[in-house]
Amino acid sequence: MNTSLSWIRRYVPDLDVTAREYADAMTLSGTKVENYEELDRDLSNIVVGEVLSCEPHPNSDHLHICMVNVGAEEPLQIVCGAPNVAAGQKVPVVLEGGRVAGSRDGEKTEGGIVIKAGKLRGVESHGMICSIEELGSTREMYPEAPEYGIYVFPEDTEVGADAIGLLGLHDAIIEYEITSNRVDCYSVIGIAREAAATFGKKFNEPEIKVTGNDEKASDYISVDVVDTDLCPRFTARVVKNVKIGPSPKWMQRCLASNGIRPINNVVDITNYVMEEYGQPMHSYDYDTISGHKIIVKRAKDGDVFTTLDGQERKLDHDVIMINDAEKPVGIGGIMGGENSMITDDVTTVLFEAACFNGTNIRLSSKRIGLQTDASQKFDKGLDPNTAELAVNRACELMEEFGAGEVVGGIVDVYPEKRLPSEVPFEPEKINGLLGTSFTEEEMIGYFEAVDLKYDKEKNVIKVPTWRQDVLRTCDLAEEVARFSGYDKIPTTLPTGAATTGKLQFDMRVLSVARDIAEECGFSQAYCYSFESRKAFDRLTLDENDPLRNAIEISNPLGEDFSIMRTTPLNGILTSLGTNYNRRNKSVRLYETGNIYLPKALPLTELPDERMQFTLGMYGDGDFFEMKGVVELLLMKLGMNQKTQYTTDTLKNYMHPGRQAQIIYDGVRIGEIGEVHPLVRKNYEIGERAIIAVIDIPSILGFATFDRKYHGIARFPAVTRDISMVVPRTVTAYEIEEILAQRGGKILESYRLFDIYEGEHIMKGYKSMAYSLVFRHPDKTMEESEITSAMNKILNGLATIGAELRK
């Protein structure tokens, strides 16, 4: 929404503020000014001059030498290149040292261009005669300006007067961001009312004079609204003997300042009233209305209608149509039809100001694919009481401009009248909500400034129908807050019972995971939650892999963002690929983020959102380093049982011989492995890459931050080393199971310190060496106890084919 400051001043004449003051104060009272442009910012020292003489320049085929009277004692000699310059003209003249906003092709220069005296092809020139473009404006706003050349004032313009002021350029265009609850502020009057209240000035709402001859509009036209749910009010008036012509300059400027091109008096009046009251209007050529009858009803599915822009529009039964006795003549609230539009030959005009269901207009306009200035006003949901004001205002302006003879009376179909509402006045509640101590009088003062009238008898505030946002006490509190100023409200902190600030347990677990990852060299990545189905192919998942059961977004931003991820791997691998492509060496990334597993598809209830801790790296580091990160995390989370790494389930996306499922206390908590070379290729990672994923919900039951002190061993430990040859297929886990089971309580720890395959070892076998530490918590051990434990271990190892090396 835009207005010029001068248009606001039409209703708030005492508003003597700069554009900046206006913008700041309006923003702080709730009418947010997004931007403003002062039209005279780069203009100075420009007066009306009279061209006394105009001779061709001797050294040029297009320049003229003019003597210009600017009201000073001596006329000025000015060289002018405009094709239309002529003696006798009254023109805008920039005096020496003055500024214009830009060049004649309309290109503006920040800060303006200073005009100095100088010579043009050897002839002195003291100033410049300007075009409308040089004044920073356009022919849109000043249609009377020539296409090329200088602006010319009417003959009776006073010489020496301020040309900027005469052109109305001591003005500013204000651009507002209106919030959706303030439908009334999508109008100049609505904003002016706010401005008056903001600055404590008087608000002069236009008084609409009664117009019309002694004929009756109802003798000209009948209106039947069939679907009143979609059209709660329809008003119509008639103007005959219409004389199409230009509208007055002040109206053209007002429209232009809102970005609306002036066309002719009838169109300009409907547009002006639309901006002024926020009420779209429509004008029909009365003689094209068959049967002089208007019927407002739903279209039929499949109907086609040609709007006045010449486009065919497909309709359906939720679109409200304006029809005459035979045919549709307009899409209600959106656009009129070609068949009833005003032409220059029109003699009788039918003005419509109606109210349509806002939601229906919004949805219809979307379905039809046609958004207009009118539909954008209607879709906010207008006050039906404004319709009558608007149609009367239009007729008044027609009469005032001498544009036609207004027929008396109005045809008004308004079955359910909307009445002002009442909100109880509860000043203590308002102060209680705001934390303030305003008096009742102060509050009432703020209300009445915006026509919220206090009814003392009933102790209520009467809310006019245009204020659809004021429904209860909190809404009144807002009025008090914004007109007193949010900055006037004190700054306190909540009192009341203390509460415990804390993170949830799972967030603490994640925080530990982040710390561990970073300590181990992994940097944190953020990946998208949605991705393409192609991710499953890149990960080489089988056709029936359950991970392919992904939730689909019904209106995605393209295929790349079309499903909710069921695995975090695509994200981390894509990021590793990005880094590899950018030649970053030895990259380690981790991510904490959800995957989304549907319980059933299509979704009938919320899916299982599972937080995943995902690690990925290429370059330095191998599987076992990654395993170390996992173990470090589990250790830090107090998960002290031995983790199992099983290989009975194999995943396509990992190297078949270098992957494992991570099992803790019988529960699968994640997986780890080297990325399969084919998958790596799909992600364009040129080096071996290792990944690990921990399913956070699976470990929450095991993780703990409780710690207990177990004492420090007081008795000496005894170390025994075992070196053995075992079949290659025997895993460290199998050996360690035997060590742990058979070593008994006195086996404090064991550690693999050597593993070897190759020369001196039989083919199909490997050599493994463990260092075992025995210790008794309460005494120094006897040699015999250790021997006995060692024998048990050795017997056990024999069962899996281990042979001791001597």
Partner 1 sequence: MSDIEQKVKEIQDAAVSAIMGADGLDKLNEVRVAFLGKKGSLTAVLKSMKNVDPEDRPKVGKWVNDARAEIEERMTEMKNKLDAEKMARELEKEKIDVTLPPKMKFIGHRHPNTIALEEVERIFIGMGYEVIEGPEIEYDDYNFTKLNIPANHPAKDEQDTFYITKDILLRTQTSPVQARVMEQGKLPIRMISPGRVFRSDEVDATHSPSFHQIEGLVIDKNITFADLKGTLDVFAKELFGPETKTKFRPHHFPFTEPSAEVDVSCFKCGGKGCRFCKGSGWIEILGCGMVHPHVLEMCGIDPNEYTGFAFGVGLERIALLKYEIDDMRLLYENDVRFLRQF
Within residues 568-597, the interface with partner 1 by CB under 8 A covers 575, 578-579, 582, 584, 587-590, 593-594, 596
One character per residue 497-516, x = contact with partner 1 (rule: CB under 8 A): xxxxxxxx--x------x--
3-state helix/strand/coil string of 442-490: HHHHHHHHCCCEEECCCCEEEECCCCCCCCCHHHHHHHHHHHHCHHHCC
By beta-carbon proximity to partner 1, the closer residue of 286 and 378 is 378
Alpha helix (H) residue ranges in 214-303: 217-220, 249-257, 265-277
Two tokens, residue 385: 């009481």
By beta-carbon proximity to partner 1, the closer residue of 126 and 362 is 362
Rounded alpha-carbon distances, angstroms, from residue 452 to 174, 417, 478, 646? 26, 19, 13, 74
By beta-carbon proximity to partner 1, the closer residue of 160 and 521 is 521
Angle at 349 between CA 346 and CA 355, to 5 degrees: 140
Residue 377 near partner 1 by CB under 8 A: no
Of 245, 402, 556, 801, the one binding partner 1 (CB under 8 A) is: 556
For residue 378, the number of C-alpha atoms closer than 13 Å in the C-beta half-sphere is: 32
Residue 554 near partner 1 by CB under 8 A: yes
Of 157, 181, 290, 698, the one binding partner 1 (CB under 8 A) is: 181
Q: Which of residues 352-371 bind partner 1 (CB under 8 A)?
A: 359, 362-363
Q: Which of residues 462-491 bind partner 1 (CB under 8 A)?
A: 469, 472-475, 477-478, 481-482, 486-487, 489-491
Rounded alpha-carbon distances, angstroms, from residue 212 to 162, 277, 285, 392? 40, 21, 18, 10
Contact (CB, 8 A) for 85 and 133: no
Residue 110 near partner 1 by CB under 8 A: no
Q: Please, what's the b/e burial string for 156-195 (b: 16 or more CB within 10 A of its CB; e: otherwise)?
A: ebebebbbbebbbbebbbbebebeeebbbbbbbbbbbbbb
Of 9, 32, 170, 548, the one binding partner 1 (CB under 8 A) is: 32
Rounded alpha-carbon distances, angstroms, from residue 687 to 65, 404, 408, 563, 681? 79, 84, 87, 29, 9
Taking Cα atoms as reference points, which of 638, 683, 369 lies closest to residue 538? 683
Give me the amino acid identity at 798. A
Q: Which of residues 50-69 bind partner 1 (CB under 8 A)?
A: none
The interface region with partner 1, picked from 26-34, 243-251, 720-728, 767-775 by CB under 8 A, is: 26-34
By beta-carbon proximity to partner 1, the closer residue of 246 and 621 is 621
The interface region with partner 1, picked from 28-36, 56-64, 637-645, 696-704 by CB under 8 A, is: 28-36
Provide, rounded to whole angstroms, the least separation between the CB of residue 525 and partner 1: 4
Length reported for the chain: 806
Two tokens, residue 435: 């934390």
Q: Which of residues 384-443 bind partner 1 (CB under 8 A)?
A: 432-436
Number of residues that bind partner 1 (CB under 8 A): 88
End-to-end CA separation in angstroms for the chain: 92
Residue 154 near partner 1 by CB under 8 A: no
Provide, rounded to whole angstroms, the least separation between the CB of residue 467 and partner 1: 13
Provide, rounded to whole angstroms, the least separation between the CB of residue 161 and partner 1: 34
Q: How far is CA 449 from the centre of its chain?
A: 33
Residue 148 near partner 1 by CB under 8 A: no
One character per residue 593-632, x = contact with partner 1 (rule: CB under 8 A): xx-x-----xxx-xx-x-----------------------
Sign of CA dihedral 367, 371, 374, 379: positive
Residue 343 near partner 1 by CB under 8 A: no
3-state helix/strand/coil string of 254-270: HHHHCCCCCCCHHHHHH
Residue 697 near partner 1 by CB under 8 A: no
CA distance 304 to 368: 11
Provide, rounded to whole angstroms, the least separation between the CB of residue 104 and partner 1: 29
CA distance 421 to 564: 47
By beta-carbon proximity to partner 1, the closer residue of 219 and 609 is 609
The interface region with partner 1, picked from 24-32, 149-157, 346-354, 454-462 by CB under 8 A, is: 24-32
Of 86, 159, 308, 551, the one binding partner 1 (CB under 8 A) is: 551
Q: Which residues contact 22 (CB under 8 A, 6 or more apart)?
A: 5, 8, 15, 33, 36, 172, 174, 195
Q: Which of residues 520-539 bind partner 1 (CB under 8 A)?
A: 520-530
Residue 180 near partner 1 by CB under 8 A: yes
By beta-carbon proximity to partner 1, the closer residue of 282 and 380 is 380
Provide, rounded to whole angstroms, the least separation between the CB of residue 25 and partner 1: 11
